Amino acid sequence: MIVLKPKLSTYLSLGLILIILMLGLVLILRDFAYDRSFDLWFYLLSSSLLTLVMLMLLIKMMAGWRFIFAGKDHILIKLPLRGSTRTYGVNQILAWEEETVLANKREFKQVTLVFQDHQSITASNHEHQAYSEFVAYLQKKAAKQAVKKKK
pLDDT, one tens digit per residue, over 100-117 is 988 888 899 999 999 999
With a cut of 70, list the residues of the chain below it in pLDDT. Answer: 150-151
pLDDT tens digits, one per residue of 123-133: 999 889 999 99
Q: What is the pLDDT of residue 64?
A: 82
Q: What is the pLDDT of residue 28?
A: 97
Greatest alpha-carbon span in the chain: 65
If residue 81 lies in a helix (H) or strand (E), which one and from where to where? none
Q: What is the pLDDT of residue 82?
A: 87
- Work out the percent of the chain whose per-residue pLDDT is above 70: 99
Q: What is the pLDDT of residue 149?
A: 75
In angstroms, the CA 8 to CA 128 distance is 9
Q: What is the pLDDT of residue 12?
A: 94
Contact between residue 55 and residue 63 where contact means Cβ atoms under 8 Å apart = no
Domain boundaries in the chain?
1-141
In angstroms, the CA 144 to CA 3 distance is 23
Burial class (CB in 10 A: 0-12, 13-18, 19+), 81: exposed
Contact between residue 131 and residue 4 where contact means Cβ atoms under 8 Å apart = yes
